[in-house]
Amino acid sequence: MPSAVLLLNAPDRAGIVAEVAAFVAAHGGNIIHADQHRDESAGRFRQRIEFDLEGFGLAREAIEPAFAPIAEKYAMHASVHFSDAVPRIAIMASREPHCLVDLLDRVAVGDLVADVRAVIANVPDHEAISGFHGVPYHYLPVTAETRDEQEAQVLEVLDREQVDLVVLARYMRILSEEFVERYRRRIINIHHSFLPAFPGARPYHRAYDRGVKLIGVTAHYVTADLDEGPIIEQDVARVSHRESVHDLVRKGRDLEKVVLARALRFHLEHRTIICGRKTVVFA
């Protein structure tokens, strides 16, 4: 049963909730889920409303125009999404396959609903598994000198496939500011530390050296500031002195897979609103 999702972000004012609910009700909409957040410190109001399209009195393309006066009145940023519009994504990977393979499996069994248009990697290793899942594989090697050309090739693939979202599944190269700007708010990365601890390179090694008792991972939107983007999801696992760096890396892989998948689901189901340095997640 298809549904519509309304994502709203506005200055906080009394009456918004009532007016939005009245809009849905006036057109015969049945609200399935609604979640809202009044951010007192920022003076903002955010809301996610999901309602059945069956029996709704407006055609899909008429919803946004019909809602526009309310959005304008409250100076809202508003967007409308449909549950049966499958987002088009690209997955970028480097040598380590676990996150890539996990995402392909999840899409295959219907655990994540996405149309994987491309796998892009700077190594040739993952062509077979991508092929097994019927996803075109783009091996685009890169060095410090050739980054600009390689990014141009990547962008060509993304643009051609009209990709809605880029997932960095342990892609270990830093993207240029221009690239990030071009796919602003549409790139999700998994970083293998509990940010803001251990940003940058080799976080498991540094976690080992520091003697932390828990390791963590962080899924976040990518911004020009490395590892500073709005956090979508994090999780941790307990470690002890018995465990070597190698053990931390292995344990971390399970965290990375699960946390990236959770973050991706939140995005694909239109449950996230980026608010400055933070992400509101209507989980």
User: Is residue 16 within 8 Å of 72, Cβ to Cβ?
Assistant: no
Q: Is residue 113 part of the contact set for a second copy (CB under 8 A)?
A: no
Site string for a second copy, 140-179 (x = CB under 8 A): ----------------------------------------
Q: Which of 167, 216, 252, 260 binds a second copy (CB under 8 A)?
A: 216
Q: Does 65 bind a second copy (CB under 8 A)?
A: no
By CB under 8 A, name the one of 118, 194, 256, 270 that touches a second copy: 194
Span near a second copy by CB under 8 A; candidates 80-88, 137-145, 163-171, 212-220: 212-220
Q: Does 127 bind a second copy (CB under 8 A)?
A: no
- Please, are residues 245 and 2 in contact by the beta-carbon 8 Å criterion? no
Out of 37, 60, 173, 182, which residue is the one contacting a second copy (CB under 8 A)?
A: 37
Beta-carbon contacts of 110 under 8 Å, excluding residues fewer than 6 positions away, are: none
Residues of this chain that bind a second copy (CB under 8 A): 14-15, 17-19, 21-22, 24-26, 28-41, 97-98, 101-102, 105, 109, 111, 128-129, 132, 194-198, 209-214, 216, 230-236, 238, 240-242, 244-245, 250, 253-254, 258, 261, 277-281, 283
